[in-house]
């Protein structure tokens, strides 16, 4: 399947149930790039605009780039009319932006879908001199028992997507990052992002992932039932704590 189509039909649950990013991460991006108000951030693979919305709240201007029609439409519905915001139909490799326009490029929950070499070339073209690229993921604590059981469930119910389920921050090889960033130099920072979830949010969050079933899929009923069982096992007083960190790799390209 074309990567740009993987989230078709999931924009609503993605916007509603995916987490935002810690304030400390936003502080870090602004300080590291010495970004003034109204600096232009290009948010690549912006999805429904989760990170874009937080950047706008910091009085930054945001040009979001998103190839999936459903996701882009959700972002436009949520953010159109905000000062400094626009969204384009483009890809990481072909953004359609002018040369030397961006003070910062961000890619949140997205870099693992890109062609790294072509994305690097595009970043070099659209960034101002000495500007940074930030590769960001909300990722789970791998040592947590719940997360081990979740991974086993993914493999059991959706074995054909086992490779996809291993993608993301935890499985981006260091060699890929070293090749992407200039001279292999970048800084990695982590920011706590634990969340207390109701059953509805726990199920919705998992259904928002590209490799999990949607209503009508053969595996949907069994998947939701087992999510209910996991919630019952690990929740306390109707809430389940999901231990996550927001991981950011920041550097020049």
Q: pLDDT for 202-246, tens place per residue?
A: 988 888 776 677 777 777 888 889 899 999 999 999 999 988 899
Q: What tokens does 110 get?
A: 């997205």
Q: Is the pLDDT of residue 7 over 60?
A: no
Using a cut of 0.95, tell me whether the model's pTM lies above it.
Answer: no
State how far the alpha carbon of 150 is from the alpha carbons of 194, 195, 243, in Å: 16, 16, 13
pLDDT tens digit sequence for 18-40:
889 999 999 999 999 999 999 99
State how far the Cα of 46 lies from the Cα of 5, in Å rounded to an integer.
Answer: 14
Q: Three-class SS of residue 253?
A: coil
Q: Is the pLDDT of residue 13 over 90?
A: no
3-141+165-195+244-251 is a CATH 3.30.70.1230 domain: no
Domains in the chain: boundaries: 3-141+165-195+244-251
pLDDT tens digit sequence for 127-185:
999 999 999 999 887 677 888 888 888 777 656 555 544 445 556 889 999 999 999 99
State how far the Cα of 80 lies from the Cα of 56, in Å rounded to an integer.
Answer: 11
Say which residue, 90 or 226, is predicted with more confidence. 90
Q: Distance between alpha carbon 71 and the CA centroid of its chain, in Å?
A: 12
State how far the alpha carbon of 87 is from the alpha carbons of 49, 98, 156, 197, in Å: 9, 14, 38, 30
- The CA-to-CA distance between both ends of the chain, in Å, stands at 29
Q: Three-class SS of residue 142?
A: coil
The beta strand positions in 96-223, using DSSP E, are 102-108, 127-140, 187-192, 195-197
Q: What tokens does 214 get?
A: 């949607």
Report yes or no: 53 and 77 within 8 Å, Cβ to Cβ: no
Mean pLDDT across the chain, nearest whole number? 89
Q: How confident is the model at residue 17 (pLDDT cuts 50, 70, 90)?
A: confident
For residue 225, how many other CB atoms are within 10 A of its CB? Answer: 9
Give percent of the chain with pLDDT exceeding 90.
Answer: 67
β-strand partners of 43:
64, 106
pLDDT reported for residue 157:
66
């Amino acid at each position: 399947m074309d990567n740009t189509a993987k989230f078709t039909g999931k924009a609503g649950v993605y916007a509603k149930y995916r987490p935002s990013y810690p304030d400390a991460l936003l502080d870090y991006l602004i300080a590291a790039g010495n970004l003034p108000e109204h600096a232009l951030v290009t948010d690549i693979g912006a999805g429904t605009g989760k990170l874009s919305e937080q950047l706008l709240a910091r009085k930054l201007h945001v040009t979001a780039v998103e190839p999936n029609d459903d996701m882009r439409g959700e972002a436009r519905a949520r953010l159109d009319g905000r000062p400094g915001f626009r969204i384009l139909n483009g890809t990481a490799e072909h953004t359609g932006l002018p040369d030397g326009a961006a003070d910062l490029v961000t890619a949140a929950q997205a870099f693992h879908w890109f062609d790294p070499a072509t994305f690097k070339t595009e970043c070099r073209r659209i960034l101002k001199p000495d500007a940074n690229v930030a590769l960001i993921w909300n990722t789970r604590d791998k040592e947590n028992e719940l997360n081990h059981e979740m991974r086993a469930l993914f493999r059991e119910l959706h074995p054909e997507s086992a490779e996809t389920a291993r993608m993301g921050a935890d499985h981006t090889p260091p060699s890929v990052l070293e090749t992407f960033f200039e001279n292999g130099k970048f800084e990695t920072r982590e920011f706590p992002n634990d969340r207390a979830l109701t059953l509805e949010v726990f199920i919705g969050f998992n259904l928002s992932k590209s490799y999990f079933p949607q209503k009508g899929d053969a595996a949907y009923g069994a998947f939701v039932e087992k999510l209910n069982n996991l919630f019952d096992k690990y929740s306390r007083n109707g809430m389940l704590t999901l231990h996550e960190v927001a991981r950011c790799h920041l550097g020049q390209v």
